[in-house]
Structure 1
């Protein structure tokens, strides 16, 4: 089968019409990491009948214990579908071993470092090959953390991004009782024998898909530091000058507003926007990490706000 890319092997594994949307699923085999078995699924959403008039590209990156369904439900809803219907060229990336991306040979040892160093650059290169303009990138929870690692580590060139949006992403605070060092050591010891961690292991409501044990071990190792070896990814963010928006959920205990704002302030961008999604700011509810994308009020309050940001690189005035 002929590759869909001149960069590395890419197969178009599905091309479907889903109501008013087109859904093309690509499988990338970049062969750029120590594990040659890695394949990455990338779903492109567009409006039916508008294939020749693709809009501004947007890449959406899911968080931990999740896949593309956080953006695009089986019923054809979600922020990804909303943006596609609004005329954007939407790309839904799924990290190795998640969703339609098959489990790689070294699945249990997958790390954020692998996503940042190998997978995101491959996805960015393919999207750049297919589109005429730099893409806006949006990461949810750990998806935003991976993007911060890729940019802070210099693995992803800022010129490849039109803007960055972080939804409930932070790098400075562990979840609940895991802030206690003895429990960190005990958890890391337990995870050495595991292949994966089931959804809900960290806490209730934490996603719906298994996560490689290596990802959780790595997050525990970062207690107080965000980087790998001698490389400090957090320090590298000062060199990143693209527009950045950070959304925090007022009711998010895993990524509290103060920690989300702290991550935003590490960026060197002259255009930085921050908004806490809560009643104090005039929203209908105090949003949690999942609710800011999937809650009953999200499609009325949060999705239009994100669409406005992508079009204008600023937040709309709130009444």
Structure 2
């Protein structure tokens, strides 16, 4: 792996060895945003000193979350499980989440900042470090953001080996948001709050800038999943050709309308699969994370994802070079 990025300044902020695994954290300064203070943390876990021929995996968290979704502690989590099977796993964190510091204009973070600036920078960094096309595994809003980057060509779809979307959907819309006036009013009310506190509301361990959530609410209306400049994200999904696995669970409070299945059906993947697990042990918003962080996930979901990836490699469906 190269010691430094040729694309933008990169700082190694920690380097640890845990048994056979190395866990390194980097801070990227993309300098591609009007706010030059933006820095993004990316943590890498892999077997120490063991080069792999497998594609790298980028695990992207969703809203109110961070890298701990994938690696709650060394020796546990989906990231460690994949690393133990010889994958190099990269864990980016969005602005102001986890090891990523709050930038000066953090409260005004917008959907386009993440989709058109941050995720492409992370994608370029991992590609530069590994010289291989990555697999993206995303949870919830993280998956929607990646799809936004891909359908808008902010990330070249040809540079992605495959995607695994866990609890990702864009159809969880309150009936009132189908009314354009109510959608605009709701977006305005959310925007006025500044920060939405995830821990206090039991959404998750992180906060979110209300501007970002306001942007998301604005497209959850009768006009559908479209950008403000008219780009139709939903229709563009049909033109994404990389292999895709969409994972859902029966207990997910955010997927009451089978939005994960609808998204799967819309994808134009050359090879795609939909899998719904029967998880009922968690309640409330905890159910939204149970397919990643639970004993049931460890027993059923992680092996399923691994087997799907391995079968893709065996069949030659993952184009990694």
Shorter-chain TM range is 0.7 to 0.9
Aligned residues of 1:136 and 1:310 also touching (Cα < 8 A) = no
C-alpha RMSD of the superposition: 2.6
In the other structure, the counterpart of 2:276 is 276
Once the two structures are TM-superposed, the CA of residue 176 in structure 1 deviates from its matched residue by 8.4
Residue 44, structure 1, aligned to residue 12, structure 2: no
Aligned residues of 2:191 and 2:213 also touching (Cα < 8 A) = no
CA distance in 1: counterparts of 2:296 and 2:257, whole angstroms: 19
In the other structure, the counterpart of 1:114 is 113
Aligned residues of 2:199 and 2:207 also touching (Cα < 8 A) = no
Once the two structures are TM-superposed, the CA of residue 189 in structure 1 deviates from its matched residue by 3.4
Once the two structures are TM-superposed, the CA of residue 84 in structure 1 deviates from its matched residue by 0.7
Residue 149, structure 1, aligned to residue 172, structure 2: no
Give the paired residue count.
Answer: 307
TM-score scaled to structure 1, two decimals?
0.88
Q: In the superposition, relative to structure 1, how do residues 256 and 151 fare at CA in structure 2: closer, same or farther (>3 Å)?
A: farther
Gaps of 5+ in 1: 315-319
Once the two structures are TM-superposed, the CA of residue 130 in structure 1 deviates from its matched residue by 1.1
CA distance in 1: counterparts of 2:100 and 2:206, whole angstroms: 13
TM-score scaled to structure 2, two decimals?
0.87
Q: Deviations over 1:253-289 (max 9, x none)?
A: 212362111112222212111011117xxx9999932
Residue 194, structure 1, aligned to residue 193, structure 2: yes
Once the two structures are TM-superposed, the CA of residue 38 in structure 1 deviates from its matched residue by 1.0
In the other structure, the counterpart of 1:317 is none
Q: 3-state DSSP class of the match of 1:301?
A: helix
CA distance in 1: counterparts of 2:301 and 2:70, whole angstroms: 13
Aligned residues of 2:190 and 2:210 also touching (Cα < 8 A) = yes
Matches within 5 A, 1:1-319: 4-50=4-50, 52-53=51-52, 55-174=54-173, 184=183, 187-199=186-198, 205-224=202-221, 225-228=224-227, 229-256=229-256, 258-278=258-278, 288-313=287-312
CA distance in 2: counterparts of 1:264 and 1:157, whole angstroms: 20
CA distance in 1: counterparts of 2:202 and 2:312, whole angstroms: 32
CA distance in 2: counterparts of 1:93 and 1:45, whole angstroms: 12
